Amino acid sequence: MGCLSLKDPEKRQARREEKREKRRKRRVASGIRQRWLKNILSVMAAIVILVGVAFSVANGVYTYSTMRSGLEAEANTTAAFLRNYLNLDYNECYASCVLLVQNYAGRDRLELQFVGSKGEVLASSYGLFAEETVGTPDVTQALQTRSTVYYVGDNPSADERIMSVATPMIYTDGQIVGVLRFVTSTRNADRFIALGMVLATGFALGALALIYVSNRMYLRSILEPVAEITDTAKRIAAGSYGVQIQKKYDDEVGVLADTINEMSNQISQSERMQSEFVSSVSHELRTPLTAITGWGETLLQGDADPEETRRGITIILREARRLTSMVEELLEFTRIQDGRFTLNVRTCDLRSDFEDMIFMYGSRLRQEGITLEYEDSEDEIPEISCDPERMRQVFLNILDNAAKHGGEGKRITASMKLEGKNIVTRIRDYGPGIPDDELPHVKMKFYKGSSKARGSGIGLAVCDQIVELHGGKLTLENAEGGGTLVTVSLPVHQ
């Protein structure tokens, strides 16, 4: 029971954390969806509605325009036919108009009326309406303007909408015989227009539904990878360095996933290198400190002979200098990282300093059985502006690395030449070289690779920074025939 009581709170806490995370994700997703509804769907809905309204209006205008054109064409054709009777006697002309109306062949499509000058219906293709009077304004306007007039609206004599065209028949002396009026119901046209509006509405709703569904799928394709990226970023922030995001898309989201993965790898590698650096520095410090402590205790006992005492003091001094060199290297690296690293620039003869350093360091290497060969050049190398102490530090570090990592080749060559507008220094060892997969990383801070040689792994990083501050370039490569070639190129004019 005691174990259960301990586990239950942990489970409840885990469930609460899970619920909070789900609520947070829902809030994020809801916020994005709301912005999408506001910015995208509303705009698309407005566009679709406008298109639907425009289609409905255009369909109505086109339908009524077609009806009007048909009526006007019918009126013009009939009026042209009756003009042949306008030269007859007035009564005969009048009788011809009535007869034409009564025998009109298109009565199945529309009604033809012959209307008197007072608006009364004198004859109709549907029958005689001697007492009926036209209540629409088209006849009155046709009589007044003596031209063809059309009308669309309600029919006072029937509960329906109509379209009519009234054409006056003018006798030869200018007297109006009557008005020919073509009338048709707009019921079918209105049904056609209503059907078009229904279809337009259905199309608009279908388009909106399609847009909504497709955009929901699109949002899901974005939100799910983003949520996964967010979770992975949180894991990285919590210390799970090196975790990777599964890449699903080759687009901006995929690029973001690649960037997060690369960042995770870089952080993991940096953490690993820092851990290795701490371990390496601890070992590098422990070795000389052990020697110093051991010989110090031996000398304090006072039993050693003078020769052994001298040997012990020599070892203590050598290891103390080694510790001092390591501390100075670490301090310089810290100053570089903090942006406090500065150069004491002055004009100097870099070639002369380099040759002096080769002579001094060569005698030291001979004691270790390594030959340092200097390839003299007849080039006239000018003086340049640089920090000679820093450049000496660079060259000594490169020579020291050549001795440590390539010393088994028992030979190191060095040269300095003027190539174009650059002073190029090359230092090569004849050891095993650098593995190809480690070559791009050797100048990175804390990186030691597979080498078992002593060192902190920051020497080349410091050298690279010093050369860059001089406007130059430091490169490492495997030399043809074996060994490692280090090249330092400095511009003559800076």
What 3-state class would DSSP assign to 390? helix
Instruction: Let me know: does 489 contact 426? Beta carbons within 8 Å.
Output: no
Topology of domain 252-338, per CATH? Answer: Helix Hairpins (1.10.287)
Per-residue pLDDT, averaged over 290-315, amounts to 79
What are the tokens at 208? 């909106």
261 sits in which H/E element: helix 252-301
Per-residue pLDDT, averaged over 61-65, amounts to 89
Q: Give dist(CA 277, CA 271) in Å, integer.
A: 10
- pLDDT higher at 238 or 4: 238
Of 49-63, 83-97, 130-144, which has the strongest mean pLDDT? Answer: 49-63
Per-residue pLDDT, averaged over 139-147, amounts to 88
Of 136-150, 223-237, 454-468, which has the strongest mean pLDDT? Answer: 136-150
Give the amino acid at 201: T
Q: Give dist(CA 55, CA 448) in Å, integer.
A: 74
Q: Tell me the angle at which helices 459-469 and 388-406 cross, rounded to the nearest 10 degrees.
A: 150
Q: Give dist(CA 183, CA 152) in Å, integer.
A: 10
User: What would the CATH number be for the domain defined by 346-491?
Assistant: 3.30.565.10
The pLDDT of residue 2:
45
Q: Which residues contact 431 (CB under 8 A, 6 or more apart)?
A: 402, 405, 406, 407, 408, 409, 482, 483, 484
What are the tokens at 42? 């509303």
| Least confidently predicted of 121-125, 222-226, 356-360 | 222-226
Q: Which residues of 227-236 are buried (b: 16+ CB within 10 A; e: fewer)?
A: ebbeebeeeb
Q: What is the pTM of this model?
A: 0.45
- Distances in Å between the Cα of 475 and the Cα atoms of 77, 84, 310, 460 are 97, 108, 43, 10
Instruction: Let me know: does 232 contact 268? Beta carbons within 8 Å.
Output: no
Give one DSSP letter per residue of 439-457, joined into a string.
GGGTTSTT--TT--S-S-S
Among left, alpha and beta (phi > 0; psi -120 to 50; other), residue 23 is alpha
Give me the residue spans of the domains in the chain.
Answer: 86-186, 252-338, 346-491
Q: Give dist(CA 243, CA 225) in Å, integer.
A: 15
Is residue 136's pLDDT more than 70? yes
Instruction: Let me know: does 402 contact 427? Beta carbons within 8 Å.
Output: yes
What are the tokens at 81? 């036919």
Among left, alpha and beta (phi > 0; psi -120 to 50; other), residue 128 is beta
| Least confidently predicted of 1-5, 41-45, 215-219, 476-480 | 1-5
pLDDT tens digits, 238-295 = 777 677 777 776 766 777 777 777 777 777 777 776 666 666 666 667 777 887 888 7
Q: Give dist(CA 457, CA 356) in Å, integer.
A: 27
Burial of 29 (0-12, 13-18, 19+ CB in 10 A): middle
Query: Which phi and psi (to 5°) does residue 86 adopt?
Result: -75, -15
User: What's the residue count for the chain?
Assistant: 494
| Least confidently predicted of 9-18, 175-184, 295-304 | 9-18
Topology of domain 86-186, per CATH? Answer: Beta-Lactamase (3.30.450)
Task: Give first-to-last CA distance, the chain, whole Å.
Answer: 78
What 3-state class would DSSP assign to 152? strand
Partnered with residue 298 across adjacent β-strands are none
Q: Give dist(CA 397, CA 451) in Å, integer.
A: 16
Give one DSSP letter per residue of 87-98, joined into a string.
TS-HHHHHHHHH
Q: Give dist(CA 469, CA 137) in Å, integer.
A: 96
Count CB neighbours of 164 within 10 A: 24
Give the amino acid at 414: A
Instruction: Let me know: does 83 contact 115? Beta carbons within 8 Å.
Output: no
Strand order in the sheet with 371-375: 371-375, 411-419, 422-429, 484-491, 473-478
Q: Which residues contact 73 (CB under 8 A, 6 or more apart)?
A: none
Is residue 433's pLDDT more than 80? yes
460 sits in which H/E element: helix 459-469
